[in-house]
Structure 1
Amino acid sequence: MAKLAFLGMGVMGAPMAGHLAKAGHDVTVFNRTAAKAEAWAAQHGGGHAPTPRAAAEGCEIVAACVGNDDDLRSVCLGEDGAFAGMAAGSVFLDHTTVSAGVTRELAEAAKAKEISYVDAPVSGGQAGAENGQLVIMCGGKAEDYQRVEPVMAAYAKQARRMGEVGAGQLTKMVNQICIAGLLQGLSEGLLFAQKAGLDGEAVVDVIQGGAAGSWQMVNRNKTMLAGEYEHGFAVDWMRKDLAICLAEAETVGAPLPGTALVDQFYKDVQAMGGGRWDTSSLMARLQKLAD
């Protein structure tokens, strides 16, 4: 069992850290809002610290799952940042979905302190974190990945090294690009079924086992047909991720016209007051257009 720190007690980080504690690891947590860290420690029996540096001191592995590039920098760098408390030879394991640029920037800062760095964004949402069924795509040296893989097993159904530092974030971008297109297509299909007078659930039951089937179809069709959008990853966060995808696409020269269009559709959903709705709420936009 390892001595670990986990930075970020949001809807993803708190259950992930909980799985680590349940697996027998010695876990100390940090959260910007200290009350969340204190509540986690009271529930799981681990420790909590007032700064990332204090949480990281003496730990073999320091994991993080925070909000965005700036949040990640704030918990890593500076006098109270995690890197200041980490010893040479320890590993920083980042589960935040951020840009490949900030990943490489922080990996260089870690390297200067002889700290290893693995970028490991996750897919599976809050339910995946709570059930320990996340899919994790990782970037980093093979030996560093091998050190963190047994730890991630506490909350992952699948983890894989995709290449050097940054490859995990690039793979997560592919994931988000695919989800955006799938959900737009699913929204259009379900709305068409409704407008054509078909039983939407019956339609899905028939087609989900064929070429049109997807996780989104199987897990979101009923709530989409019911107009319920409180079941997962929020539109605000999806737009953050798609902005990262579109910026990286410019860098690598990959045209993403469909993704750019769906990003604008999500902007429309935000204007409807749906920033905290889940990503399947693209259907709400179509229903508004149809009414």
Structure 2
Amino acid sequence: MTPLLSDFVTQHLPLIEEHLSQALPSPVSGGERLIDAMRYSLLNGGKRIRPLLVLAAAKACGIDVLGSKVYSAGVAVEYIHAYSLIHDDLPAMDDDDLRRGQPTCHIAFDEATAILAGDALQCAAFEVLSESVDTLALVAPLAKAAGARGMVVGQAIDLAAVDQALDLQQLSHMHKHKTGALIEVSVQMGAIVSGANRVQLKALQRYAAAIGLAFQIQDDILDVTADTHTLGKQQGADAANNKPTYVSLLGLDEAKRKAQHLLSEAKTALAPFPNGEVLAAIADYIVERGN
């Protein structure tokens, strides 16, 4: 992580964590265990790449990111991300026991509670947005990115791809939805909150599409090169589940080259933004993490 990004994270991460915690619903009598499971999965660490992207995109468009409405957008997308991880880890999905070095939600609680915690986090995301001055502008892109035209269809394609031979185009299509959709909408929401113009939105879309794919490629690389302790989840899980990856299709060296090419594309897209240095640093971090 560059000093620039480290300073940005030091300044904003405590506020992100505070907003994430404060926006959680108060427990209804009899629902304490549900809230505990939501809190456990949401606040057990994580790099907070998506809310940081919301803030960095707003900064790139020239606004002071210490405004509450910017943080609300970041909270909403991180709630969706947290819900997706809970459901990804379930026995019917990836059947993972570890997440961020801790037992997954269905292991720490139980499967039914984990399903409900994910459901509730998804609803809470839109509750947060309902209190934003940009509600109408933000709800539609987040709903699209999270649903049957975004992350969820990516999960469906991923499940159907087990034991199947995908080509590179099919693999990229899957991950544009499963991984890329929430990364892209994070950047888009930051731009919308800041009042970005059409040219800025298109440039940021190119940036986000590149880092979204690079993020998944680096994940695939780390699944091969890192250990379980470093990953915080079971190393080699993709190979064990016979899932197609960029490494299995391209080989390790070519996957690394593709990630670097996408990093270059992302930085080129930031040319119109004098204040885009944090977005550039996040792109570097996404591709260089674990190295």
Same fold (TM over 0.5): no
Which structure: greater helix fraction? 2
TM-score using structure 2 length: 0.31
